[in-house]
Amino acid sequence: MTNRTRSPEVPVHGVEVGRPLAEFPQRASSGVSTSGSGCAGSTGHSIGPPEPPSVDRADAIVHAVRVLRSGGLVAFPTETVYGLGADAENVGAVERIFGVKGRPSTHPLIVHIGASERVQDWAAGILEPARLLAKRFWPGPLTLVLRRSARVPLAVTGGLETVALRVPDHPVALALLQAFGGGVAAPSANRFGSVSPTSARHVREDLGPHLRTAVDFVLDGGSCNVGVESTIVDCTGEQVAILRPGGVTREDLERALGCSVPVCSLGSIRAPGQYPSHYAPRARVILVEPDELAGEARRLQAQGCRVGALTPRAFEHAVADGQAAHLLLVPEPMTAYAETLYELLREFDRRGCDVIVATLPPQEGLGLAIGDRLRRAAGP
C-alpha cells in the first residue's frame, strides 16, 4: 500500500474561533444539550496566532465533539488533507459547509466514519467488491461510493442516491469520529476550487475571513502525510471504477481485487473533485513536456510574467540556465511529491508568481493522482 500510517502520538492544537454553541443549527431530532463547561484545555482565542499552544488531545476532542453535536463546523486533519466537518445528519450544519466554501450544493460530500463496521449504517446493498476494499484499505485514503441508506440526507449527496464513505487513517480524525459516534460530512477545509490544505496553517490562510463567523473549531494535528485526496471508487455495481485517483493507487486496487480497474471520465459530476478546474493556486498553471520547461519559462518571462517552474531534477540545470524567476524541484520519490504538491503550489503563490510551468509525472502509481491534480489546477 502507498499510504503510510502515522504514529499515534500526534500533538494536537485546538483553537475555538466561532460562535457560542447555543447559536448553532440543531439537528431536528437530536435533542442535544449545549450546556456544560467548555474545553478546559482550549485556548479560547481568535485564529490570529500562527501557532496556537498545544492542548490535551482528549480535551480538544471532547470540545470538537460538542461543537459537532451542536451544529458547528470543525476543521480537522486526515492523512490526505484537512477536512471541514459537520454532523452528516444535521442538514443545517451541512448547508453551512457549502456556504463557507462557496461550493455548489449539487457537489456531494464525503461522509467520514470511525470504523469500517459502521458502513452498513450509511449504505444499502453493499456488494462484495466494496466489502473487500474496505477490509483491505480502511482506515486509509480510499472513498467508496455506495447506495445511500435512508440515514443519509440528500443535502450530503448533492441530491444523488449514492453516498461517498471513508474511514481516515489519522489518529486525530479517528479519535474525533469514534468519540462523536456518527458520520462527519467533510470536504477539504478551503474555498471551493482552490489548493487543498495539508496543514492547519493552510486552513487559517484559506478560510481566515470566515473563521470568526462560520468555522467554529480547528483541530491542528500537524501536516498531512499523504498529501493528495483519497481515491474515490464507484462500488455501486459488480465492476468497480475509479472516479478520482488518489492516495490508494490503481495498482493497489487491482492487486486487491484481482482484476483491472478502469479510471472513469464522467460527463456529469458524481463525486468530489471532478470539476475541470479544481485544486488551483492563484497563479495560472501551464503544463508542458519536460524538455519544453526551460523554453516556456523564457517565453513567459519575455512577456513580463513572473514565472515559477516546478521542475524534475533531470531538467534542473536547463531551467536554471533559462533564469526562471522561481524554480522549485519536484521531490523524490513519488510519495514525497504527493505529500508536498499542494505546499509547492502555495509556495509559488507566496512568491508572487503569475504563472507556474509544470510537467506531468509518469501516469502510474501516485503519479496518476498527482497528474489529475495538476491537470485540474491548469483547467479553464
> Strand ranges (DSSP E) for 18-161?
74-76, 83-87, 110-112, 123-124, 142-148
Q: Give 307-328 as a DSSP string.
A: EEEEE-GGGHHHHHHTT-SEEE
Rounded Cα distance between 244 and 129, Å, is: 17
Rounded Cα distance between 75 and 55, Å, is: 16
- Spell out the long-range contacts of 53-59 with Cβ–Cβ below 8 A and sequence spacing 24 or more: 53/13, 54/11, 54/12, 54/13, 55/12, 55/13, 55/14, 56/12, 57/12, 57/172, 57/175, 59/14
Q: How does residue 42 score in pLDDT terms, banded at 50, 70 and 90?
A: very low
Domains of the chain, residue spans = 13-220, 284-377
CATH: 3.90.870.10, 1.10.1660.10, 1.10.600.10, 3.40.50.10470. Which one for 13-220?
Answer: 3.90.870.10
The stretch 81-101 carries a mean pLDDT of: 97
Q: If you classify domain 284-377 with CATH, what class do you get?
A: alpha beta
pTM of the predicted model, to two decimals? 0.86
The predicted-structure confidence for 311-369, as pLDDT tens digits, reads as follows 999 998 888 776 657 999 999 999 999 999 999 999 999 999 999 999 999 999 999 99
Q: How does residue 210 score in pLDDT terms, banded at 50, 70 and 90?
A: low
Rounded Cα distance between 235 and 119, Å, is: 13
